[in-house]
């Protein structure tokens, strides 16, 4: 119970948007920071710090990708200047008791933060990969019926980085939550609904960070406007 309380407190601060999210979750170099005191508690073979990261006997609960290094620039393919497809992600060492995963991707540097790029939940607990180029559908056959929510454009599924032209690089947070029960949300649920449900069921979190900036000379047609993220 102590572990759950610590995790929820840290995860709420790190996930719910605005400038506070940036202060509590990540800087422009991709390094997580926090202004809260570090707390650690141990339960069985799991250890959770005040930032919500969990390790198990098999190692740290980890979200990663081979597409870019943590904190580095997101390749153009996964942005509005490229193919605007979702990146491949890998999951390792989920904690004991994980029944499903939820993924939230957002941009705390957006003009009206956070801009939501991706909401997907009820990813199977045994999934070790989230494949690239997932469709913009209510549910994902590729992930045994995982459900997608509404991104910041109001559409389903993934929408890639597309910060305003000339802006400094934006930070993109991919936050994966291990859940102790699937979420009972309808497809198309919005950010706050998903965050609230995740906070009720999260037992661990792992995060991967990307950066992206657009050139002032770049124009985009048929995707996001330059005032999104």
Q: Which candidate, 68, 29, 64, places its Cα nearest to that of 169?
A: 29
Mean pLDDT within 83-89: 98
Residue 10: predicted pLDDT:
47
Query: Do you find a cis peptide bond into 114, omega within 30 degrees of 0?
Result: yes
Q: Determine whether 152 is exposed, middle or buried from the number of CB atoms within 10 Å of its CB (0-12, 13-18, 19+).
A: buried
Q: Any idea what DSSP says for residue 141? A: G
- Tell me the sheet residues that pair with 104: 119, 175
Contact 160, 117 (CB under 8 A): yes
Q: Which candidate, 153, 152, 158, 163, places its Cα nearest to that of 211?
A: 163
Q: Where are the domains of the chain?
A: 57-212
Q: Any idea what DSSP says for residue 78? A: G
According to CATH, what is the number of the domain 57-212?
3.90.280.10
Per-residue pLDDT tens digits for 91-101:
999 999 999 99
Residue 112: predicted pLDDT:
87
pLDDT band at 223 (very low <50, low <70, confident <90, very high): very low
Per-residue pLDDT tens digits for 33-78:
222 223 333 344 444 433 455 555 568 999 999 999 999 999 999 9
pTM: 0.76
């Amino acid at each position: 119970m102590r572990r759950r309380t610590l995790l929820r407190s840290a995860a709420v601060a790190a996930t719910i948007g605005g400038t506070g999210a940036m202060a509590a979750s990540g800087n422009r170099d991709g390094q997580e920071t926090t202004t809260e005191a570090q707390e650690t508690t141990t339960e069985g073979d799991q250890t959770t710090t005040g930032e919500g990261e969990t390790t198990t006997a098999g190692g740290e609960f980890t979200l990663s990708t081979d597409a870019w290094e943590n904190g580095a620039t997101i390749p153009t393919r996964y942005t509005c200047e490229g193919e605007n497809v979702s990146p491949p992600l890998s999951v390792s060492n989920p904690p004991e008791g994980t029944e499903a995963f939820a993924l939230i991707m957002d941009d705390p540097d957006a003009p009206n933060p956070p801009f939501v790029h991706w909401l997907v939940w009820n990813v199977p607990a045994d999934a070790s990969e989230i494949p690239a180029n997932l469709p913009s559908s209510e549910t994902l056959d590729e992930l045994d019926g995982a459900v997608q929510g509404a991104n910041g454009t109001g559409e389903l599924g993934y929408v890639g980085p597309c910060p305003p032209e000339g802006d400094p690089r934006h930070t993109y947070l991919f936050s994966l939550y291990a859940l102790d029960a699937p979420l009972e949300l309808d497809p198309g649920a919005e950010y706050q609904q998903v965050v609230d449900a995740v906070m009720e069921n999260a037992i661990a979190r792992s995060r991967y960070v990307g950066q992206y900036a657009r050139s002032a000379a770049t124009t985009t047609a048929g995707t996001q406007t330059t005032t999104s993220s």
